[in-house]
Amino acid sequence: MKMTFRWYGSKTDPIPLKFIKQIPGMTGLMGLLDKPAGVDWPEEEFAALRKEVQEAGLELEVIESVNVHEDIKTGLPARDEYIENYISTVRMLARQGVKVIVYNFMPVFDWLRTDLARVIPEDGSNSLYFDEKDLGAMGPLEIVRKTAEDSHGFTLPGWEPERLALLETTLKQYEGMTGDDLRKNYKYFLDAVIPVCEEVGVRMACHPDDPAWPIFGLPRIAHSQEDFDKIVALHDSPANTLCLCTGSLGSNPDNDIPSIIRHFGSMNRIGAMHVRNVKYLGYHHFREAAHLSSTGDLDLYEIMKAVHETCPDTYIRPDHGRMIWDEQGRPGYGLYDRALGAAYLNGLWEALEKGSC
C-alpha cells in the first residue's frame, strides 16, 4: 500500500508540499494539473510539476484529473479528436513516471453535495453533506450556482467555470440517453485507450458516481458492484481498473464495501483507492464523517483488511476530510482531518501487517 495525498498545485492549494511530506508514512501525491477536458497536456508543464513534487521528497505516480470530454461520453463526432488527445496525454504521463490515471465517466456532474460545510452538532466541525430532499426544489443550474457560491472562491473538481458555462447545452445532449447508450460510448473510449495503457504500463482507474444513485434523470453507470462488473468487461484488461472510493460507493448502504473490494481486488482490477467514512442520516441523506470507524457507518478496519488481503500494493489516499481546528480551505480538502485520516489508516495497516505474520 502506498499512502498518498491529493494536492491541487502550488498556485491554488494553500497546503505546502512540505506539510504533506511531514505526515508520517506519506509517499506521494494523487496529483492534478488544471486542464480542461479534451486537451493534450503539455509535457513541459507536467515535468515542472513532477520536479517540484520530487524535490519535496514525494512521488507523483497517480494523476486524478485527466477528464473525459463530454463529446466522448455522448458519442459526438468530435470524440475521435479528443480521444487522440487523451492517448497522447497517457503516453506523456507514462514517460513522466505516472502509473495510474484516475478518471470518471459520469455525465455532467462529477460529484454533488447540497451543503459543503454542514456543521456536525457533536463537535462543531463541518463536512460535506447531501440530502436529496434539498435537491427537490433545485434544478441542475441552481445547484451548480449554489456550489460555486459555497466553495469560498476555490474551483471544485468537476465544476470548472469553462465546463459549467456549457451546462445547459450539455444537459440537452444527454436527453433520452440510456445507461446502455453511455456504456457503448464508454466501450468505444476504452477500446482506443486501454491498448495504449497496456503498451506504456499505465492503469486507468474509474471513479464511482457520487452519490451512488441516479440524479436529475441522467444515465449513471458506475455505482455498484454490478455496474463495475460491466465496466471491467467492456474491455477486459489489467489496465482497465476502478478507483474504489469507499465514500462514494458507501453513500448507498446497499453497497457492501469490504465485499466489493475483495471482489475486484482478487480480480486485480483496483488501480487506486479513496478511503473515507460516511454517516447515514436517512434515505439518500448522509454527511461525511471522520475516518475513524466509530464516527460513521463504514467499518474502516474491515475495509483495510480487504485491501490487505486482496490488493495490498494499491495506492490509497485519505479522501475528503472535515474542516476542523478552524482551518479555512477548500471544502473536503483541508490539511488537518486528512492528515489524521492518513495516520489512522497507517495505524490500521501496521496492525494488519503485524497481525498477519
Q: Contact positions toward Mn ion, by CB under 5 A?
A: 245, 274, 319
In the complex with Mn ion, which residue's Cβ is closer, 197 or 206? 206
Name the minimum Å distance from CB 35 to Mn ion: 19
CA atoms within 13 A on the CB side of 187: 11
**Sequential DSSP letters for 93-115:** HHHTT--EEEE---SS-S---SE
Name the minimum Å distance from CB 274 to Mn ion: 3
Name the minimum Å distance from CB 178 to Mn ion: 26
Q: Is the CA virtual torsion 74, 79, 85, 87 positive or negative?
A: positive
Active site residues: 207, 245, 274, 319-320, 333
Name the minimum Å distance from CB 337 to Mn ion: 15
Contacts of 336 (CB under 8 A, 6+ apart): 321, 324, 325, 327
Rounded Cα–Cα distance for residues 357 and 353 (Å) = 7
C-alpha closest to that of 264 among 222, 302, 311, 207: 311
CA angle at 34 for the pair 29 and 37, rounded to the nearest 5°: 115
Nearest-CB residue to Mn ion?
Answer: 245
Cα dihedral 193, 167, 209, 32, rounded to 10, equals 60
CA-only gyration radius of the chain, Å: 19
